[in-house]
């Protein structure tokens, strides 16, 4: 039997609790906690589990309404009704800190964790997306991270059998040393087969299922709640190791016990392992649990109560079975060669009691540990960062308009931020489960829903540079662009999940960015009727050289009412009219062009009018449903010229275009490369053009016929005349060359 240290204020500090927080623990318990109990508070009150510095702000977001079946934060993932008796569970989560230290396992377990969140809802995962940010791709350490993260994502998703269909990959020096790895998963469930993360019914057995428990990942959640430093390398043991094969078995067994209605509740064991799942399920069900840790299958000798409770070994779940069904649950898990062991029972005293070696090691009120219960809630100080004075002072007149815009176009297409991400997504299985109508490379991925006429459209989006330049507007743009992306495929935007990646929240400037970004996100979500279904906050994405760009990644879910409406991004036929929906602005602010060609990260975020944006989505989806539109591609990074170029070559067939854009009223570089929002390039049969233009006028959306598809060149005014094969080549192998050639 092991002796635990006697708890002091000093030890509490070592475990990451502030003196005030330690005092709160003393007050809740009315005594000094045991070492085991202190560990439980430490991990549950870490930023990662408690959201103590973010929850007050998150509550200002629209978190219910629309087609939501459960509100944000109520379950493991959000749940949205899509009709036909079906619902979609989806969520995004970060695994930034582990991936910075051990990119392959860090990213792999990020995927594993989010998949478990989906199937604990009873939903079978049908798609995964990944939103990635790295430093300069010419840097060897960055190359190591990129390769490790991409192969880790592939390793887990491919083996598990979920198609990885969409995402983003950005490179900027602000992410040097602090890569962002955000994984999203989407699943489908019949309404009556959804499961809940709750515990109730005195005497119901509490079971641990899946893998055995080891010493891996102890205090992973606490590690994720501090800045990265030179010491971080020594935290490598805090990174868990994933086994997608076991997870696949766990998926099948879990769905079987839910389908057979054998359980009261189930929760994934991610951060903070048994501690988190037992407390959260108890608190949600307003009950307690009595758990004997001696019964937990362990894979290492001599583990203490503290270690078992805080282990983040992967591929485990906590299940509360309905009394009498224990045996059947065991049979199902044994069929899949997995453990299912009863380790305790539900109580009605609202306490989580843990035993080890025949002794009670801890008795804590479940509610006192959890978010929404006794966990601390902080309102942090904000201060507008000084850099904004400099960036906002940028004047476009200070940079010359380039003479040769062809060269600029080729250069932008070969920017790692705009270039094809094929090198990455060819390492992901994109078509397993045979639902992928459109995979990576277009505006959004499209996943058909078997046994219905419907399809889902999914996309992640965020331009961190915009958010850096204007946190509020930049976050609005992230929502707007994600919604526009799914609208381009023919989908009505339904709801979002978010992954909020920021620096240290104790710095008022960082907190200003966070609060403003949430405000902007909320404004956009309210305008589009897309509530926030949940997500994840990742603070402390900073190292001694500074914080990352504030990066609130949006995961958007759209619904395509009929598979006949599924619309591609690229030109489909020669001789079609090309129409620009939306207004060009004299605006090069925050653009990839300004950053790459002129080396300036400056100006405001690009122009955005939320009301106009919303009308554009409605009008676009309506015209798609009327069958008038053959392709739709949104104008985003790189501006209108890059969009037109991509329309020529990202489809199955390469088709050129001749385009005439009105010059004179705005700067030429703004016309071609500016990133003002709310614009979409469409193609349609020429006999449909009048109707499309009329519909745009009715919706109050500027629209103009700008050209015609055909030939094998992209021609824009007298400025650009390039073979499609050349522009495709500029865009094609950039990442491969940067990452594979030595």
Partner 1 sequence: MSAPTFGVVVFPGSNCDHDAYHAVKHVLGEKATFLWHKDTDLQGVDVVVLPGGFSYGDYLRCGAISQFSSIMKEVVRHAERGGHVIGICNGFQVLTETGLLPGALLRNRSLKFVCKQVRLRVENAETDFTRRYEQGKVLQIPVAHGEGNFYTDSDTLRELEDNGRVVFRYVDENGEATEAANPNGSLNNIAGIVNSRGNVLGMMPHPERVVENLLGSDDGLGVFASLAESITGSVPALS
The distance of closest approach from Cβ of residue 170 to partner 1 in the complex, given in angstroms and rounded to an integer, is 22
Q: Convert residues 331-370 into a mask of x (bound to partner 1 by CB under 8 A) and - (unbound).
A: -----xx---------------------------------
Phi-psi region of 66 (alpha: psi -120 to 50; beta: other; left: phi over 0): left
Q: Which of 56, 159, 519, 561 binds partner 1 (CB under 8 A)?
A: 159
Nearer to partner 1, 357 or 426 (CB): 426
Q: Which of 42, 158, 238, 304 binds partner 1 (CB under 8 A)?
A: 158
The H-or-E segment that residue 247 falls in is: helix 244-259
Contact at 8 Å (CB) between 162 and 116?
no
Catalytic residue chosen out of the listed positions 3, 95, 598, 713:
95
Cα–Cα distance, 335 to 470 (Å, whole number): 54
Task: Say which DSSP state 105 is in.
Answer: H
* Window 243-282: residues binding partner 1 (CB under 8 A): 243-246, 248-249
Give pairs for 30-36: CB < 8 Å, separation 24+: 32/7, 33/7, 33/362, 33/364, 34/4, 34/7, 34/361, 34/362, 35/4, 35/5, 35/6, 35/7, 35/11, 35/306, 36/4, 36/304, 36/305, 36/306, 36/309, 36/354, 36/356, 36/361, 36/362
DSSP string, 34-65: PHHHHHHHHHHTSHHHH-TTTHHHHTTS--S-
Stretch that binds partner 1, among 185-193, 262-270, 371-379, 429-437 (CB under 8 A): 429-437
The distance of closest approach from Cβ of residue 83 to partner 1 in the complex, given in angstroms and rounded to an integer, is 19
Bridge pairing between strands 124-134 and 86-94? unpaired
Residue closest to 309 by CA, chosen among 374, 354, 365 = 354
The distance of closest approach from Cβ of residue 733 to partner 1 in the complex, given in angstroms and rounded to an integer, is 13
Q: Which of 105, 325, 420, 435 binds partner 1 (CB under 8 A)?
A: 435
Contacts of 434 (CB under 8 A, 6+ apart): none
Number of residues lying near partner 1 (CB under 8 A): 32
561 binds partner 1 (CB under 8 A): no
Q: Is 219 a catalytic residue?
A: no
567 binds partner 1 (CB under 8 A): no
315 binds partner 1 (CB under 8 A): no
314 binds partner 1 (CB under 8 A): no
Strands laid side by side in the 339-347 sheet:
263-268, 316-321, 205-210, 339-347, 288-292, 351-356, 359-365
428 binds partner 1 (CB under 8 A): yes
Cα–Cα distance, 306 to 313 (Å, whole number): 14
Bridge pairing between strands 68-70 and 124-134? unpaired
Contact at 8 Å (CB) between 279 and 267?
no
Residue closest to 581 by CA, chosen among 721, 406, 698, 445 = 698
105 binds partner 1 (CB under 8 A): no
The distance of closest approach from Cβ of residue 186 to partner 1 in the complex, given in angstroms and rounded to an integer, is 17
Contact at 8 Å (CB) between 708 and 715?
no
Contact at 8 Å (CB) between 350 and 368?
no
Nearer to partner 1, 91 or 155 (CB): 155
Nearer to partner 1, 527 or 563 (CB): 563
Nearer to partner 1, 425 or 593 (CB): 425
CA angle, 270 then 272 then 276, to 5°? 90
Nearer to partner 1, 315 or 604 (CB): 315
Six-digit token string for 722: 């390039």
The distance of closest approach from Cβ of residue 336 to partner 1 in the complex, given in angstroms and rounded to an integer, is 7
Q: Is 155 a catalytic residue?
A: no
The distance of closest approach from Cβ of residue 164 to partner 1 in the complex, given in angstroms and rounded to an integer, is 9
SS3 per-residue string spanning 314-359: CCEEEEEECCCCHHHHHHHHHHCCCEEEEEEEEECCCEEEEEECCE
437 binds partner 1 (CB under 8 A): yes
238 binds partner 1 (CB under 8 A): no
Give φ, ψ of 371 to 5 degrees: -60, 135
Nearer to partner 1, 431 or 626 (CB): 431
The distance of closest approach from Cβ of residue 444 to partner 1 in the complex, given in angstroms and rounded to an integer, is 16
Q: Convert residues 122-151 into a mask of x (bound to partner 1 by CB under 8 A) and - (unbound).
A: -----------------------------x
Nearer to partner 1, 160 or 306 (CB): 160
Nearer to partner 1, 336 or 468 (CB): 336
Residue 666: other Cβ atoms inside 10 A: 17
Contact at 8 Å (CB) between 410 and 137?
no
Task: Say which DSSP state 193 is in.
Answer: G
Six-digit token string for 199: 């515990």
The distance of closest approach from Cβ of residue 180 to partner 1 in the complex, given in angstroms and rounded to an integer, is 23
Cα torsion angle, 372, 377, 383, 387, sign: negative
Nearer to partner 1, 267 or 567 (CB): 567
426 binds partner 1 (CB under 8 A): yes
431 binds partner 1 (CB under 8 A): yes
Nearer to partner 1, 245 or 387 (CB): 245
Residue closest to 286 by CA, chosen among 212, 195, 350 = 350
Cα torsion angle, 722, 724, 726, 729, sign: positive
The distance of closest approach from Cβ of residue 440 to partner 1 in the complex, given in angstroms and rounded to an integer, is 10
Q: Which of 448, 484, 565, 731 binds partner 1 (CB under 8 A)?
A: 448
* Window 38-57: residues binding partner 1 (CB under 8 A): none
Cα–Cα distance, 53 to 377 (Å, whole number): 6
Catalytic residue chosen out of the listed positions 3, 48, 97, 607:
48
241 binds partner 1 (CB under 8 A): no
26 binds partner 1 (CB under 8 A): no
Nearer to partner 1, 113 or 163 (CB): 163
154 binds partner 1 (CB under 8 A): yes
Contact at 8 Å (CB) between 623 and 692?
yes
The distance of closest approach from Cβ of residue 708 to partner 1 in the complex, given in angstroms and rounded to an integer, is 26
Cα–Cα distance, 181 to 111 (Å, whole number): 10
Give φ, ψ of 741 to 5 degrees: -85, 140
Q: Which of 26, 69, 388, 563 binds partner 1 (CB under 8 A)?
A: 563
The distance of closest approach from Cβ of residue 450 to partner 1 in the complex, given in angstroms and rounded to an integer, is 7
The distance of closest approach from Cβ of residue 457 to partner 1 in the complex, given in angstroms and rounded to an integer, is 14
179 binds partner 1 (CB under 8 A): no
Stretch that binds partner 1, among 421-429, 570-578, 612-620, 668-676 (CB under 8 A): 421-429
Residue 246: other Cβ atoms inside 10 A: 20
160 binds partner 1 (CB under 8 A): yes
The distance of closest approach from Cβ of residue 261 to partner 1 in the complex, given in angstroms and rounded to an integer, is 22
Nearer to partner 1, 151 or 683 (CB): 151
Q: Which of 430, 476, 497, 513 binds partner 1 (CB under 8 A)?
A: 430
Nearer to partner 1, 398 or 431 (CB): 431
Known catalytic residues? Answer: 48, 95
Residues at the site binding partner 1, with contacts judged by CB under 8 A: 151, 154-155, 158-161, 243-246, 248-249, 336-337, 425-437, 448, 450, 563, 566
């Amino acid at each position: 039997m092991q002796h635990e240290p006697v708890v002091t204020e000093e030890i509490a500090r070592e475990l990451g609790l502030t003196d005030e927080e330690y005092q709160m623990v003393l007050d809740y318990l009315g005594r000094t906690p045991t070492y085991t109990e202190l560990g439980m508070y430490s991990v549950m009150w870490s930023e990662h589990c408690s959201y103590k510095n973010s929850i007050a702000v998150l509550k200002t977001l629209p978190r219910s309404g629309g087609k939501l079946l459960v509100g944000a934060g109520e379950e493991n993932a959000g749940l949205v009704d899509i009709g036909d008796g079906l619902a979609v569970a989806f969520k995004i989560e970060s695994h930034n800190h582990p991936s910075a230290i051990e990119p392959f396992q860090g990213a792999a377990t990020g995927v594993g964790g989010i998949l478990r969140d989906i199937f604990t809802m009873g939903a079978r995962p049908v798609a995964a997306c990944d939103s990635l940010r790295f430093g300069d791709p010419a840097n060897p350490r960055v190359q190591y991270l990129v390769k490790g993260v991409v192969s880790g994502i592939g390793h887990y998703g491919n083996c598990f059998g979920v198609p990885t269909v969409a995402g983003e990959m950005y490179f900027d020096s602000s992410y040097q040393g602090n890569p962002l790895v955000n994984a999203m998963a989407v699943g489908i469930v019949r309404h009556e087969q959804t499961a809940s993360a709750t515990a109730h019914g005195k005497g119901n057995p509490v079971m641990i299922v899946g893998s055995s428990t080891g010493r891996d990942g102890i205090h992973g959640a606490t590690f994720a709640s501090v800045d990265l430093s030179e010491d971080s390398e020594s935290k490598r043991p805090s990174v868990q190791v994933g086994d997608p094969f076991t997870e696949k078995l766990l998926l099948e067994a879990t769905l079987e016990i839910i389908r057979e209605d054998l359980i009261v509740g189930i929760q994934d064991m991610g951060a903070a392992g048994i501690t988190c799942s037992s407390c959260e399920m108890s608190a949600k069900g307003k009950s307690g649990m009595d758990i004997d840790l001696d019964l937990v299958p362990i894979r290492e000798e001599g583990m203490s109560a503290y270690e078992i409770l805080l282990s983040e070994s992967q591929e485990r779940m906590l299940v509360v079975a309905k009394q009498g069904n224990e045996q059947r649950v065991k049979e199902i898990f044994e069929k899949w060669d997995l453990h299912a062991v009863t380790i305790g029972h539900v109580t009605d005293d609202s306490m989580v009691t843990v035993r080890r070696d025949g002794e009670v090691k801890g008795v804590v009120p479940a509610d006192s540990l959890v978010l929404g219960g006794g966990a601390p809630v902080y309102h942090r100080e904000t201060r507008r960062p000084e850099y904004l004075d400099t960036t906002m002072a940028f004047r476009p007149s200070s940079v010359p308009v380039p003479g040769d815009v062809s060269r600029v176009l080729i250069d932008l297409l070969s920017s790692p931020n705009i270039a094809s991400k094929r090198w990455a997504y060819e390492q992901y299985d994109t078509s397993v489960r045979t639902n992928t109508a459109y995979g990576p490379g277009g505006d959004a991925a499209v996943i058909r829903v078997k046994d219905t006429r419907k399809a889902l459209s999914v996309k992640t989006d965020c331009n961190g540079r915009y958010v850096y330049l204007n946190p509020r507007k930049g976050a609005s743009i992230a929502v707007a662009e994600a919604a526009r992306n799914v609208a381009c495929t023919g989908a009505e935007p339904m709801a979002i999940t978010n992954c909020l990646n920021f620096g240290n929240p104790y710095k008022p400037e960082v907190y200003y960015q966070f609060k403003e970004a949430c405000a902007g996100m909320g404004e956009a979500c309210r305008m589009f009727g897309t509530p926030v279904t949940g997500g994840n906050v990742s603070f402390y994405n900073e190292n001694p050289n500074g914080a990352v760009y504030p990066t609130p990644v949006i995961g958007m879910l759209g619904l395509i009412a009929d598979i006949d409406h599924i619309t591609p991004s690229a030109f489909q036929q020669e001789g079609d009219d090309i129409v620009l929906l939306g207004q060009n602005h004299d605006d090069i602010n925050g653009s990839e062009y300004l950053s790459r060609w002129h080396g300036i990260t400056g100006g405001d975020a690009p122009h955005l009018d939320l009301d106009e944006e919303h009308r554009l989505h409605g009008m676009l989806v309506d015209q798609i449903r009327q069958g008038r539109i053959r392709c739709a591609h949104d104008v985003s990074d790189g501006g209108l010229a890059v969009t037109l170029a991509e329309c020529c070559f990202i489809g199955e067939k390469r088709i050129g275009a001749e385009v005439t854009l009105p010059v004179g009223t705005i700067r030429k570089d703004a016309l071609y490369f500016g990133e003002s929002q709310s614009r979409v390039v469409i193609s349609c049969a020429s006999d449909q053009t009048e109707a499309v233009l009329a519909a745009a006028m009715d919706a109050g959306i500027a629209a103009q016929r700008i050209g015609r598809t055909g030939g094998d060149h992209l021609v824009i005014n007298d400025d650009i005349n390039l073979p499609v094969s050349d522009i495709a080549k500029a865009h094609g192998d950039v990442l491969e060359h940067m990452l594979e050639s030595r």
